[in-house]
Amino acid sequence: MAATKLQANWTAVSFGSTLISRVTQVTFTQGGSVAAYAADGDHFPTVVVNTMNKPKASVTSGDVAALMAIASGATSTFSATHKDAKGETGGDILYVLANAVAENAETSGSHGQFGTATLSLMAYSSDGITNPLSFTRA
């Protein structure tokens, strides 16, 4: 069957050699920002330009110890696969965030409930031009 073009659930989530299981949420953001320019008698911007991108990602897991063990400042590749909703071939999206730097890990848990931890990551470009965030279909 053809891919559904819908995603559900995450697999193969890792930060370097650290496999992350019990994943309940993964977020990737391109981190784009734009600057607007106006002058003279302009009442609206006459130029809007993308001036900077700061790609980020985060992962939430029930495996609290795995995420809390990743030290702030640790650098590696973060990757995750967003599965096709029906598991069809060619429908998965494989995300890779190169040069990912662990920004923070935090955990919480309510009485009588499962605890979770969230790891937030920022990324940098090795040459200032190449986007550290990429994705492919598989």
pLDDT in tens, 113-125: 999 999 999 999 9
Give the tens place of pLDDT for each residue, 62-81.
999 999 999 999 999 999 99
3-state SS class at 68: helix
* Banded model confidence at residue 2, pLDDT cuts 50, 70, 90: confident
Q: pTM of the prediction?
A: 0.92
3-state SS class at 59: strand
Sign of CA dihedral 43, 44, 50, 53: positive
pLDDT at 82: 98
Quickly count helices (H) and strands (E) in the chain.
1, 10
Phi, psi of 33 (to 5 degrees): -140, 150
Give the tens place of pLDDT for each residue, 13-55.
999 999 999 999 999 999 999 999 999 999 999 999 999 999 9
Mean pLDDT of 4-13: 97
pLDDT at 1: 74
DSSP 67: H
Which of 32, 34, 33, 10 lies closest to 23, judged by CA? 10
What span, in angstroms and rounded, lies between the C-alpha atoms of 125 and 136? 19
Give the tens place of pLDDT for each residue, 79-113.
999 999 999 999 999 999 999 999 999 999 999 99
Q: Name the percent of the chain lying above pLDDT 70.
A: 100
3-state SS class at 66: helix
